[in-house]
Amino acid sequence: ENARVRRIFASLGDLRDKRPEVLIAAYEARLEICREEGRDPEYIRSLERVLADLKAGKRREDLDPEDLRRANADPSTCIKRRR
C-alpha cells in the first residue's frame, strides 16, 4: 500500500509544482492509477496523449486543449475489473 500512496501523492504533484519533470511524474502516476482501477479507456488515452506531448518537450500551455481537458476531468465513477 505504500507504493499506492506514493503514486497518489505523485499524481497531485502538478498542484504544487509546474516544472516539466513534476508534470510528467504526476501524469505518469495518474495513468498508472487509472490503469489499475480499470478507468474509462478514452480517459486513459487522453492521459497517454498528454504525457507523450510533455515527454516530447511541449509545455502544458501548448498541449491540445481538448486532450488536456479530458485528462484533467478525472471521471468520478469507474468499474473495477475482476481478477
Beta-carbon contacts of residue 74 (< 8 Å; ≥ 6 apart): 43
Question: How many whole angstroms separate alpha carbon 67 and alpha carbon 83?
Answer: 30
**Which band of pLDDT confidence, cut at 50, 70 and 90, is reported for residue 75?**
low
Beta-carbon contacts of residue 71 (< 8 Å; ≥ 6 apart): 27, 30, 43, 46, 47, 49, 50
The arithmetic mean of pLDDT across residues 44-57, rounded, is 94
Residue 5 class from Cβ within 10 Å (0-12 exposed, 13-18 middle, 19+ buried)?
Answer: exposed
pLDDT digits (tens, 9 = 90+) for 12-46: 766 667 788 888 988 998 899 889 889 889 999 99
pLDDT recorded at residue 53:
95
Please say if the pLDDT value at position 76 is more than 60: no
